[in-house]
């Protein structure tokens, strides 16, 4: 059997680019807490589009006695047709894949100036050991550093797209052009996953955030009803609200948001994300009521606190706009990643029209949710404050 031969660029790749598993670990975000949490919760999916099963009605149950006849079939249909949403038991949300590529480029000038080799010199070397050790280490450093920076750039691009925001609730679509869905598109009241916010009907009761708004609303119209395919949200910047709560984040408001999204102790918001300015205010507001989440601290996100009353971890994320505090349930909200393009490196290659050696770091992914109502968005406006009603301090 003939030996497998590798060219010089393949040898450099093996020496400088981690194996696929190691590469995936190296590309986990070290700057955006939201992105890191979603990466950890990511699911490997195939097929197009991505489909999520959305259960929005319970099947009818039956109490019986003795020999009464039992219902032998579903009383609510198992799936919803395109014209039947709102009255069935399940619907199907569909999400289109998005592709992201980050270029890795080493110029001939970099090689000549640092290793004394032009591209042709490098390509004519059959074995990497043929390069003097000092120059070989320099080549490794050049290629390795460019791959490392590409990983940081990919992380930054994903985090920026996830946190893209065009303002407060009612804007609908916050997505950057051709990018994955923004978390704020999911949290707003527009169409998501191909399903309109009002397409699956309403809850029987008014949500806690809507009730809070109506309680403090002195001039405008009351909110209602609360929709099933819409995140729990409140625009606390509305001038109709009492001045004591306008633009303000209090413990009461944050607690109501958590209760509004919860369905039992195990199916609730597990992470809250906010801008560092808001996080500092929350640290003072919740002083003595939190503990450190050591799991997140051990991977570098030391600006975190777990609120004892709820067990929810609150994290600072510089990509989240200062006007917003968001709560995410990672059992229902996650990144879908295609296993065939899971932060895949294309390999180094030359270009006929440029004095460069290039490669691409690529990912096929999308933000997916199967229950928008398990997440929340508190919008605080342009001048947010944190504290008890009437006592909030600007952040």
Tally the C-alpha atoms within 13 A of residue 314's C-alpha that lie toward its C-beta: 26
Q: Which domain holds residue 346?
A: 8-51+94-394
Kindly report, residue by residue over 43-64, the tens digit of the pLDDT. Answer: 999 998 999 988 887 777 778 8
Would you say residue 352 lies in a domain?
Answer: yes
Kindly report, residue by residue over 60-103, the tens digit of the pLDDT. Answer: 777 888 888 877 555 555 555 545 556 677 888 999 999 999 99
Whole-number pLDDT of residue 287: 93
Whole-number pLDDT of residue 73: 56
Would you say residue 76 lies in a domain?
Answer: no
* Residue 311 in this model has a pLDDT that exceeds 80: yes
CB 289 within 8 A of CB 350: no
Kindly report, residue by residue over 180-226, the tens digit of the pLDDT. Answer: 999 999 999 999 999 999 888 888 888 899 999 999 997 767 777 88
Read off the DSSP letter of residue 44. E
Instruction: Please state, in angstroms and as integers, the Cα–Cα distance from residue 273 to each residue in 180, 183, 345, following that order.
Output: 19, 11, 31
Would you say residue 319 lies in a domain?
Answer: yes
Q: Which of the pair, 41 or 130, is modelled with greater confidence? A: 41
Would you say residue 274 lies in a domain?
Answer: yes
Average pLDDT over every residue of 361-376: 95
Would you say residue 226 lies in a domain?
Answer: yes
Say how far apart CA 363 and CA 338 lie, in whole Å: 8
Kindly report, residue by residue over 255-270, the tens digit of the pLDDT. Answer: 999 999 986 567 899 9
What is the domain count for the chain?
A: 1
Of the chain, the percentage scoring pLDDT greater than 90 comes to: 53
Residue 23 burial by Cβ neighbours in a 10 Å radius (0-12, 13-18, 19+): middle
Question: For the domain that residue 201 is a member of, what is the CATH number?
Answer: 3.90.1690
Whole-number pLDDT of residue 178: 93
Whole-number pLDDT of residue 79: 52
Q: Kindly report the CA angle at 193 between 189 and 196, in degrees rounded to 5?
A: 45
Would you say residue 59 lies in a domain?
Answer: no
């Amino acid at each position: 059997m003939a030996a497998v031969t590798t060219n010089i660029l393949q040898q450099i790749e093996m020496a400088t680019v981690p194996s696929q598993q190691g590469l995936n670990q190296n590309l986990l975000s070290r700057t955006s807490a939201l992105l890191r949490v979603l990466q950890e919760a990511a699911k490997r999916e195939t097929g197009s589009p991505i489909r999520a099963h959305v259960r929005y009605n319970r099947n009818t149950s039956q109490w019986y006695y003795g020999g009464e006849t039992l219902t032998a079939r579903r009383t609510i249909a198992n799936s919803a047709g395109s014209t039947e949403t709102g009255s069935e038991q399940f619907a199907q949300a569909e999400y289109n894949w998005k592709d992201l590529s980050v270029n890795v480029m080493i110029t001939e000038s970099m090689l000549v100036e640092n290793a004394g080799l032009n591209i042709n010199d490098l390509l004519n070397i059959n074995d990497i050991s043929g390069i003097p050790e000092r120059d070989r280490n320099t080549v490794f450093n050049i290629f390795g550093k460019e791959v490392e920076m590409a990983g940081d750039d990919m992380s930054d691009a994903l985090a920026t797209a996830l946190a893209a925001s065009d303002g407060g609730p009612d804007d609908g679509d916050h997505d950057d052009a051709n990018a994955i869905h923004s978390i704020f598109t999911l949290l707003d009241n527009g169409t998501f996953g191909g399903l309109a916010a009002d397409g699956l009907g309403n809850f029987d009761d008014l949500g806690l955030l809507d009730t809070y708004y109506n309680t403090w609303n002195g001039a405008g119209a009351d909110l209602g009803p609360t929709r099933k395919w819409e995140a729990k949200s409140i625009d606390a910047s509305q001038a109709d609200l009492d001045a004591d709560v306008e633009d303000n984040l209090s413990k009461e408001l944050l607690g109501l948001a958590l209760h509004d999204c919860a369905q039992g102790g195990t199916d609730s918001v597990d992470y809250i994300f906010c801008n560092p300015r808001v996080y500092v205010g929350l640290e003072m507001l919740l002083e003595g009521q939190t503990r450190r989440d050591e799991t997140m601290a051990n991977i570098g996100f030391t600006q975190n606190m777990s609120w004892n009353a709820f067990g929810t971890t609150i994290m600072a994320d510089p990509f989240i706009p200062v006007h917003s505090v968001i709560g995410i349930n990672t059992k229902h909200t996650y990144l879908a990643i295609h296993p065939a393009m899971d932060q895949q490196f294309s390999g180094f290659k030359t270009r006929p029209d440029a004095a460069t050696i290039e490669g691409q770091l690529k990912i096929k992914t999308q933000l997916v949710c199967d229950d928008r109502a398990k997440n929340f968005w508190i919008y605080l406006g342009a001048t947010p404050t944190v504290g008890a009603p009437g006592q909030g301090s600007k952040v």
